[in-house]
Amino acid sequence: MGKYIIGRIVQIIITFFIVISIIFLMFRVMPSDPSSFLLTPSMTAEAKQTIRKQFGLDEPIAVQYVIYLKNFIHGDFGNSFYSGRPVMSIIMEKMLNTIFLSTTAVILSYLIGIFIGKAIAWKRGSKAEKFFVILGLWFYTTFTPWLGIMFLWIFAFKLKWFPLGGMITPEKWIFDPSLFEKICDLGHHLILPLITYVVLWFGSYLLLMRNSMLETLKEDYILTARAKGLKEKVIKNRHAARNAMLPIVTAFAISISFSIAGAVLIETIFSWPGIGRTIVEATLRQDYPLVQGAFAVITMVVLLANFAADIAYSYLDPRITY
């Protein structure tokens, strides 16, 4: 086990190294000089040189690469071209918003998906099973921004139940409201993106849980449990569902990397100030340090999530030995 964990950590480091090296290369072979955004023709040669030096663009490429790696290890991604703030502090702030929204969403869709998946696997072949499988499939393949826009149109624009976007109402926060008012305001903004996420995602957990449950029900210990004369409910919840949930732990990690793509789209629709929207905006503004940093952090999060899931899986299922 210890050997396995060390092996995995080495693998994560290698993967991360490869990814950031590719990012470095892409930014060096790009058609436009990354500094051209900062340099204007009216600048004196001296001023141009100062800026180049500031961003380390005057060194040979090998030296630039070493500096780049060193800075990465220290979590220093430079300053944003656009706002001038350190990239790391922007990313941390946005990442927190993303994690807040998507973690809540993943947990909620997980619970709903497992609950329905368990029930319909038990009712194999019924009309209800078919209905929920098709419903789950439909939402799983629904185009994310479109569903978001539809929800905004109906619930925010027509019915005016929820705000049209953002995470908070800035006007309300100027006068330093009580904590309760702050939470209410945040919750009010959270509901619509959260519902969109859950509607889009519960389907994949539902299908996974159903399939896993169907496979578990074929195991010998289920037959034994029946032979012992246990109640159906006990077999379903204690014997089958617990084991059927194992593969879904792995799915949990995969859904983290999946949720990043989802976050890009949902955060854009709902103007949620998260990492997904940041990477889109930074790209459009040609804010390269921020793009670089955001992409590196996203990849790191995905790698760590996969690692955590593998560890959790081996812990939950003693049959797995590495």
Partner 1 sequence: METLNYTLDKTEKKSLIRQIWDLAGRSTFIKLGVFIMLIFGGMAVLSPIWIQINPAIYDPIIGVDLSVNGSVGPSFKHPLGTDDIGKDLFSQLLRGSQVAFILGIMVSLISTTLGTTIGLFAGYYGKISDTLLMRLADIILTVPILPLLIVISGIFGTQSNWIILLILSFTFWPVTARVIRAQTLSLRERPFIESAKVSGISNTRIIVKHLAPNVLPIAFYYLTVTVTGAILVEAGLSFLGFGDPSNMSWGMMLQWCFVKGYVFKAPYWMIPPGLCISLLSFSFYLIGVGLEEIVNPRLKKR
- Is 11 near partner 1 (CB under 8 A)? yes
Q: Among residue numbers 31 through 70, which ones bind partner 1 (CB under 8 A)? A: 31
Q: Rounded distance, CA 120 to CA 110, Å? A: 15
The radius of gyration of the chain's CA atoms, rounded to the nearest angstrom, is 24
* Least distance from partner 1 to the Cβ atom of residue 121, Å: 10
* Least distance from partner 1 to the Cβ atom of residue 254, Å: 9
Task: Mention every residue, 6+ apart, whose C-beta is less than 8 A from residue 120.
Answer: 126, 128, 129, 132, 133, 206, 210
Q: Which position among 217, 235, 244, 245 is part of the footprint of partner 1 (CB under 8 A)? A: 217
Task: Check if the beta carbon of residue 152 is closer than 8 Å to that of residue 164.
Answer: yes
Q: Rounded distance, CA 91 to CA 133, Å? A: 38
Tokens standing for residue 102: 């998507």
Integer angstrom CA distances of residue 236 from 126, 213, 242, 249, 318: 17, 9, 9, 19, 21
Q: Which position among 215, 271, 273, 308 is part of the footprint of partner 1 (CB under 8 A)? A: 215
Q: Which position among 91, 133, 245, 309 is part of the footprint of partner 1 (CB under 8 A)? A: 133
* Least distance from partner 1 to the Cβ atom of residue 84, Å: 20
* Least distance from partner 1 to the Cβ atom of residue 139, Å: 9
> What percentage of the chain's residues is helix, strand, coil (to nearest 5)?
75, 0, 25
Distance, CA of 187 to chain centre: 20
Distance, CA of 114 to chain centre: 20
* Least distance from partner 1 to the Cβ atom of residue 264, Å: 5
Stretch that binds partner 1, among 37-45, 99-107, 183-191, 290-298 (CB under 8 A): 290-298
- Is 284 near partner 1 (CB under 8 A)? yes
**How many chain residues touch partner 1 (CB under 8 A)?**
60
The DSSP string of 77-105 is --B-TTT-SBHHHHHHHHHHHHHHHHHHH
Stretch that binds partner 1, among 50-58, 90-98, 108-116, 276-284 (CB under 8 A): 276-284
| Pattern 180-209, partner 1, x by CB under 8 A | ---------------------------x--
Q: Rounded distance, CA 244 to CA 239, Å? A: 9
- Is 261 near partner 1 (CB under 8 A)? yes
Closest to partner 1 by CB, 5 vs 186, is 5
- Is 146 near partner 1 (CB under 8 A)? yes
* Least distance from partner 1 to the Cβ atom of residue 249, Å: 17
Task: Check if the beta carbon of residue 276 is closer than 8 Å to that of residue 282.
Answer: no
Question: What are the phi and psi torsion angles at 58 (to 5°)?
Answer: -95, -5
Closest to partner 1 by CB, 186 vs 214, is 214
Task: Check if the beta carbon of residue 110 is closer than 8 Å to that of residue 205.
Answer: yes
Q: Which position among 49, 71, 250, 286 is part of the footprint of partner 1 (CB under 8 A)? A: 286
- Is 314 near partner 1 (CB under 8 A)? no
* Least distance from partner 1 to the Cβ atom of residue 224, Å: 15
Question: What are the phi and psi torsion angles at 79 (to 5°)?
Answer: -105, 150
Task: Check if the beta carbon of residue 267 is closer than 8 Å to that of residue 276.
Answer: yes
User: Is 242 strand, coil or helix?
Assistant: helix
Q: Residue numbers of the site for partner 1 (CB under 8 A)?
A: 11, 15, 18-19, 23, 26-27, 30-31, 124-127, 129-130, 133-134, 137-138, 140-147, 149-150, 152-153, 157, 207, 211, 214-215, 217-218, 257, 260-261, 264-265, 268, 276, 279-280, 282-284, 286, 288, 291, 294-295, 298-299, 302-303, 306
